[in-house]
Structure 1
Amino acid sequence: MMRYRRMGRTGLAVSEIGFGCGGNAGLMLRGTAAEQARIVARALELGVNYFDNAPDYGDGAAERNLGRALKAAGARPLLCSKVEIRRADLDDIAGHVVRSTEDSLRRLGVDALDVLQIHNAPWHEAPAMEGVYYARLGIDDYLRDGGVLDGLARLLRDGKVRHAGFVCRGDDVNVAQRLFQTGMFGMINVPYTLLNPTAGQAPPPGLNVARDGGGVLCHARGADVGAAIYSVLAGGFLSEDSAAGRPRHPVARTVDPAAEAVRLNMERARSLRFLAADTGGTLAQAAFRFVLSHPGVSTALGGFSAMEQLEEIAAASDAGPLPGSALAALERVWRTDFGLATALP
């Protein structure tokens, strides 16, 4: 049975498992229209009511495909999409936010979004924005006249967007708090995983992480801002197939097994396989149950390549949070940096 949580000040009741439409799992980009329709319909049957999308997912393809699948199902769940701000948009950020959103509405076939997020994480200063880069945006470009907040205000006023949010990417908790203080934002998207839990707690002693989440989930909860967690499976590594070295599903994004970062993530995943045995489920289910153990989490976004993955992850909601014994064992693994502290030079 799917459980639901309140998404911060938005008041939205969202399913603990959300449906992510990004390119890593690949269904909404590389799956067939029939398979997309079948899996989206099954997600709705299972109680999934929150769908997360973005124009960047296949240059609008994921939005069009989701809109078609929902029309076939005769359903209108909660919809989130995003805006990517690139260098060419800096002279009229507010106008771009409005135009991009209107394009998303047309692709999805709806009159309004329940949540619109800025896909650029706020940053302390203006980053170099070359080519199609949009990972970060200077905080001044959020707050200045004609900036992000002005564009969001227009959309909220006109009823094209009901709630606003933004993405965090790590090392950005201070600027995220500045945005919380504006009162405009009701939710964030943030990475929070078994491999890097720092969005939800202080860094465990001994654990090395590329980016510090800064406990942003705790700060968001204090500001009554909800949180959707993306990349729960750390880009697909926290799965039985990945831990066992098996190839990914044909529609999923491929990785190079010879790459050092890939090899290390597979080793980290293997060190956590005990969680599946200890909790009577799969490694992927344990990853979602871990995320849902945090009180600041509103929904955990699943990326699905196939029906069996949807069924597997949806069951994690009914299983409840990870037990204390599993969390204690996890803490011990973190303190050894997944056993790599002594295994690597």
Structure 2
Amino acid sequence: MMHYRRLGETGLMVSEVGMGGAGIGHVWGPTTEDDAIAAVHTALQAGVNFFDVAATYGDGLAERLLGQALAPDRDRAVIATKVYLAPADLADIPGAIERGLAQSLERLNTGHIDLFQLHNHVTARRGEIPDSLSLHDVLGEGGVVETLQRLKQSDAVRFVGFTGLGQAAAVHSVIQDGGLDTVQAYYNLLNRSAAEPLPPHSGLHDHGQIIPLALQHGLAVIGIRNLAGGVLSAGLDRDIPPQSLFARDARRIARLHFLGEHELPLSQIATRFVLAQRHIATVVPGAKNAAEIEDAIAAAAHPPLDDAQIALLHDAAADDFGVPEPVPTTL
């Protein structure tokens, strides 16, 4: 049976397992339209009501397929999507966001979006990470937050949020501003720094304990990358660059051999680990077919890791799972 959690101060009740749209947008490898739509229908039938897509997933494909799949059941779903601002958009941030909203509404075949979010990384200065926005772009006059707040007053948007990636200090500033309702937090078995400090000299990206900060400032937390981009699953079904974050994470999981003694597959253990973080309202695995969303849903039916396994995880994380390498510049 699906369980539901409150999405912060929005008043919305969302399934603890949601469905991310990167999979049906081909971000995590190819799929078919039939498989993508079947994944959405499978999720709905199992009680999933939170769907998180983005305009960039398949250049609008994920939004279009989600809108098609949910057409008979729009009122049963909480639809979240994201707008991404390219460098050319920054001369007119309000206009770019408004155009993005109109395009998303059309692709999703809906009159309103329940949660409209910024997708770009946030850094102190523009472009410190490719296509990142500066704090001034986000918090300044005529910036992202001001525009999202204005759109929230319309019938087209109910709540607004952002993706908590980029420089931790910049993400902190956006959270502390208090102008948004939600933040997406990168949190999984390998990298828990959105909730707790990294061990000294870690090669992992530091997400700056944004989960407790978000709670302090009234933002709901949406868990992303629960499978670390597919690394914490039965096996990647796509090629990955050898120096990428995904490749480094793949080397780290060799230290998780003790989890093989658990009766569940690694993917379900990883999802259950995230669900044990009660401050996360929902986790959104990027399933691209019915089997993948079924796997995530099944995880919710099992208990979390026991204290002994958690202790072993802490020990493994203390030396960065034996892979103390430089932090990659992208996620």
The TM-score with structure 2 as length reference comes to 0.90
Letter of the 1:223 partner, please give it.
H
Residue in structure 2 matched with residue 59 of structure 1 by the alignment: 59
Shift of 1:74: 6.3
Residue in structure 2 matched with residue 224 of structure 1 by the alignment: 218
Kept in 1, the 8 Å contact 2:24–2:289? The answer is no
Letter of the 1:323 partner, please give it.
D
Residue in structure 2 matched with residue 212 of structure 1 by the alignment: 206
- 1:269 corresponds to 2:250: no
Residue in structure 2 matched with residue 251 of structure 1 by the alignment: none
Change beyond 3 A, Cα 1:307–1:181: same
For 1:142-291, list aligned pairs within 5 A.
Answer: 142-172=138-168, 174-205=169-200, 207-209=202-204, 211-242=205-236, 248=237, 254-256=238-240, 259-261=242-244, 263-278=247-262, 280-291=263-274
- 1:327 corresponds to 2:310: yes
- 1:91 corresponds to 2:91: yes
Shift of 1:106: 0.7
Letter of the 2:37 partner, please give it.
A
Letter of the 2:19 partner, please give it.
F
For 1:297-316, list aligned pairs within 5 A.
Answer: 297-316=280-299
Change beyond 3 A, Cα 1:25–1:324: farther
Shift of 1:148: 0.9
Distance 1:13 1:74 in 2: 16
Q: Deviations over 1:62-111 (max 9, x none)?
A: 11111111125566400000111111111110111111011101100111
Q: Counterpart of 2:156 in 1: which secondary structure?
A: coil
Shift of 1:27: 8.5
Shift of 1:43: 0.5
Q: Deviations over 1:267-317 (max 9, x none)?
A: 212321422423x21111111111122232111111113322221111112
Kept in 1, the 8 Å contact 2:124–2:167? The answer is no
Residue in structure 1 matched with residue 329 of structure 2 by the alignment: none
Distance 2:314 2:230 in 1: 22
Distance 1:309 1:64 in 2: 20
Distance 1:84 1:178 in 2: 20
- 1:16 corresponds to 2:12: no
Kept in 1, the 8 Å contact 2:25–2:58? The answer is no
Kept in 2, the 8 Å contact 1:191–1:229? The answer is yes
Kept in 2, the 8 Å contact 1:94–1:149? The answer is no
Kept in 1, the 8 Å contact 2:199–2:319? The answer is no
Kept in 2, the 8 Å contact 1:64–1:107? The answer is yes
Kept in 2, the 8 Å contact 1:6–1:12? The answer is yes
Distance 1:281 1:202 in 2: 28
Distance 1:147 1:97 in 2: 10
For 1:23-172, list aligned pairs within 5 A.
Answer: 23=23, 26=26, 30-71=30-71, 76-127=76-127, 133-134=130-131, 136-172=132-168
Distance 2:285 2:166 in 1: 20
Q: Deviations over 1:35-63 (max 9, x none)?
A: 22222111011111100111101111111
Kept in 1, the 8 Å contact 2:232–2:266? The answer is yes
- 1:295 corresponds to 2:289: no
Letter of the 1:185 partner, please give it.
L
- 1:317 corresponds to 2:300: yes
Kept in 1, the 8 Å contact 2:211–2:221? The answer is yes
Residue in structure 2 matched with residue 245 of structure 1 by the alignment: none
Kept in 2, the 8 Å contact 1:5–1:15? The answer is yes
Residue in structure 1 matched with residue 327 of structure 2 by the alignment: none
Distance 1:28 1:240 in 2: 14
Letter of the 2:277 partner, please give it.
H
The RMSD of aligned alpha carbons is: 2.4
Letter of the 1:311 partner, please give it.
E
The TM-score with structure 1 as length reference comes to 0.86
In structure 2, the gaps of 5 or more residues are 325-331
Letter of the 1:325 partner, please give it.
A
